[in-house]
Amino acid sequence: MASHRRPKPAGRARVSILTAAAATAVALSAQTGAHADPAPTKDQVKQQVDTLNEQAEVKTEEFNAATEREQGLQKQVSQIQDQVARQQAQVSGIQGTLGEIAAEQYRTGGIPQTVQLMLSASPDSFLNQAGAMNQVGSSQADVLKAFKDEQGKLDQQKSEAEQKLAELDATTKRLKADKEEILGKLAKAQSLLDSLTQKERDDLAAAEAKSAADAKAKATAAQGPERASRDSARTDVVVNAPAGSHAAAAIAAATSKLGSPYSYGAAGPSAFDCSGLMKWAYAQAGVSLPRTSQDQAGAGTSIGTNVANAQPGDLIIYYGDQHHVGMYIGNGQIIHAPRTGVPVRYESATAMPISKIVRP
């Protein structure tokens, strides 16, 4: 007798398997989400941004050094090219004289070897041939010797120009790479800041403003109660530097730029990086400083690392690699161009690790 059992619905087993797989996937997804790295906190973002800004400043000082090197090489190349042009004219003039002598000898039936000597591409080797000098007059030999000497100078100058041009090309490429790296770090820092909420960004800005206000209050307090009670909006802080001194003039110039924006590679008059502000301020006082903070560390008398021994106008160099610099103004304060997004302002002289104090 045939079986009349009802057949199972088609695909039931497959549906069960797919349902189980979907449930497993959902569970795994939830588990993965539970273990995902949490978004960085405001403080963590600030720390990362500060690190990126410091790295950018390190590259900025390298950029400044390379820029200065490039400018120096450009001057050297220009000078050498001028020398080559003058030397070429000198050689061409002597060649013309040799050509006239050779032509005259040819017309008057002169010795063929003399003509060869005058027109030789290598006068030096020809002159070394036995008896060659006996075949020309002393005046002609003098002209040949002059030609040989001047041609040697020209060849040397051309070789030097080629070397400097190659060095300039390498420096220019390094500048481009440094600039791209700096911009990359700054863009990453900005991206981190953009990831914060508006309130978190406002809190960070308020903290920066409070830090600047506290530093300004300490700098102003150095002048006594009367000075400290004046309008807090004023930014002209008078310091105890000898009147008429280079230090006093440099401090006056630097403080006149309070609030000016930071810009990498900038040395005034409207924007600055850290070493650019020092160079510009001291230039207003008639003192020439090197361009980078590392070179500025050697531009004067070393005072050690104790702020207690610093005088207004001294340069305080920071960090082990000396990539930051500020100007001491007294009362434990400096004025400096901190970093991208933070304008020229006052700061505690010990807010960063001191590498060296220098008196220009």
Q: Which residues are catalytic?
A: 274, 324, 336
Which residues, 6+ apart, have CB-to-CB distance to 247 below 8 Å?
A: 241, 285, 311, 312, 313, 314, 360
What's the token pair of residue 244? 């008429």
Rounded to an integer, what distance in angstroms lies between the CA atom of residue 284 and that of residue 288? Answer: 9
- Contact of 303 with 340, CB cutoff 8 Å: no
For every residue of 164-187, DSSP letters joined together read HHHHHHHHHHHHHHHHHHHHHHHH
Sheet with 345-348, strands from edge to edge, namely 301-304, 354-359, 315-318, 324-330, 333-336, 345-348
What tokens appear for 5 in the block?
A: 């059992």
State residue 267 phi and psi, 5-degree precision.
-130, 40
